């Protein structure tokens, strides 16, 4: 075989290999697109159903009135008391869980990596991640309400939500802190900057956008929890702006309560409450996106 024939044979083999690789690449790409489309089907179906059924009662009266003196068959009424309760409960849960979760993540990454205490904390965080939501509600019911004699309140519900929120904050913040290059830390140490100031001035600002996104995902997860609120907050049809005293309604409880009433007006209010909850979660995610864009290095440059 001459050199020219050998070169032609090699080029033919390369073309066949390239064609096979292109076919495999396109086939896998088509599978990815198909999986993405299948994943969108239930999401779009849920959103369409909630929007189509919730718009019938989603108006200013629904957003500015409570259910006080409104029966199951009566028209009117709204979810203002539940919206207020959800915002306060989620805010209190965030105030409790975000600092604790962030400090725990900083310890695991910067101080406790490889240590016995760090491994123990990481193990318990993993255990807490798999705790069912009803278990956190039962714990607060048994400890806070029954053992300590505290009343049903929005703060009790916030305690239960913070238990569910904390491991998500820890894991998301931990992953973001580990993505910070060690070169930045070492450069700061070389300039004589203490470790705590390096964490505050270098590590946290670098990972801020990822941490904010993880926190918003944790908030979105607990905002729709119903089981912990059933056991710790109780039901009320009146506006209660004090989360530390007396029962306080939440949007998940409102939807649960209205959906359990066998009337069309109550069912319409339940759909409108579900739509309101989705809009609140969507607004929180938009806020997280805005913060990430605002603090992004590309915008500052």
For residue 14, give both structure tokens: 């390369």
**What pTM does this model have?**
0.83
Please give the pLDDT value at position 158: 93
**Alpha carbon distance 250, 66 (integer Å):** 12
User: In order along the chain (301 residues), what is the average pLDDT of each group of 10 residues?
Assistant: 54 62 84 92 90 87 85 80 91 93 91 82 87 90 90 91 92 89 87 87 86 86 88 86 88 89 86 91 82 66 52
Please give the pLDDT value at position 14: 58
Crossing angle of helices 80-106 and 154-178, rounded to 10°:
40
Please give the pLDDT value at position 1: 52
CATH of 61-300, one of 3.40.50.300, 3.40.50.970, 1.10.3720.10, 3.40.605.10: 1.10.3720.10
Q: Are 284 and 223 in contact (CB under 8 A)?
A: yes
**Alpha carbon distance 37, 257 (integer Å):** 34
Please give the pLDDT value at position 77: 81
Please give the pLDDT value at position 16: 61
Let me know how long the chain is.
301
Alpha helices in 70-194 (DSSP H): 80-106, 116-129, 133-140, 154-178, 182-190
Please give the pLDDT value at position 298: 56
Round to the nearest angstrom and report the end-to-end CA distance of the chain. Answer: 61
Please give the pLDDT value at position 119: 87
Q: Are 54 and 272 in contact (CB under 8 A)?
A: yes
> In terms of C-beta density within 10 A (0-12 exposed, 13-18 middle, 19 or more buried), how is residue 93 classed?
buried
Q: Are 273 and 66 in contact (CB under 8 A)?
A: no
To the nearest 10°, the Cα dihedral for 295, 91, 159, 230? -130
To the nearest 10°, the Cα dihedral for 194, 197, 201, 205? 110
């Amino acid at each position: 075989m001459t050199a020219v024939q050998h070169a032609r044979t090699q080029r033919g083999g390369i073309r066949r290999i390239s064609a096979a690789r292109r076919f495999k690449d396109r086939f896998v790409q088509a599978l990815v697109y198909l999986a993405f489309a299948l994943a969108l089907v239930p999401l779009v179906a849920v959103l369409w159903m909630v929007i189509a059924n919730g718009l019938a009662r989603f108006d200013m009266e629904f957003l500015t009135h409570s259910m006080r003196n409104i029966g199951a068959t009566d028209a009117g009424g709204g979810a203002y008391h539940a919206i207020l309760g959800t915002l306060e409960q989620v805010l209190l849960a965030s105030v409790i869980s975000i600092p604790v979760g962030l400090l725990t993540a900083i310890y695991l990454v910067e101080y406790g990596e490889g240590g016995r205490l760090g491994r123990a904390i990481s193990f318990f965080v993993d255990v807490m991640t798999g705790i069912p939501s009803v278990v956190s509600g039962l714990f607060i019911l048994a400890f806070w309400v029954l053992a300590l004699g505290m009343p049903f309140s929005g703060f009790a519900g916030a305690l239960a939500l913070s238990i569910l929120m904390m491991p998500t904050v820890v894991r998301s913040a931990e992953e973001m802190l580990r993505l910070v290059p060690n070169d930045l830390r070492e450069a700061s140490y070389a300039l004589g900057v203490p470790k705590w100031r390096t964490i505050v001035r270098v590590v946290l600002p670098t990972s801020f956008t990822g941490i904010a996104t993880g926190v918003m995902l944790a908030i979105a997860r607990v905002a729709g929890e119903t089981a912990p609120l059933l056991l710790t907050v109780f039901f009320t049809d009146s506006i209660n702006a004090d989360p530390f005293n007396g029962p306080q309604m939440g949007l998940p409880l409102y939807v649960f309560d209205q959906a359990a009433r066998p009337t069309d007006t109550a069912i319409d209010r339940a759909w409108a409450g579900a739509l309101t909850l989705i809009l609140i979660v969507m607004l929180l995610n938009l806020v997280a996106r805005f913060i990430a864009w605002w603090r992004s290095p590309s915008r500052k440059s």
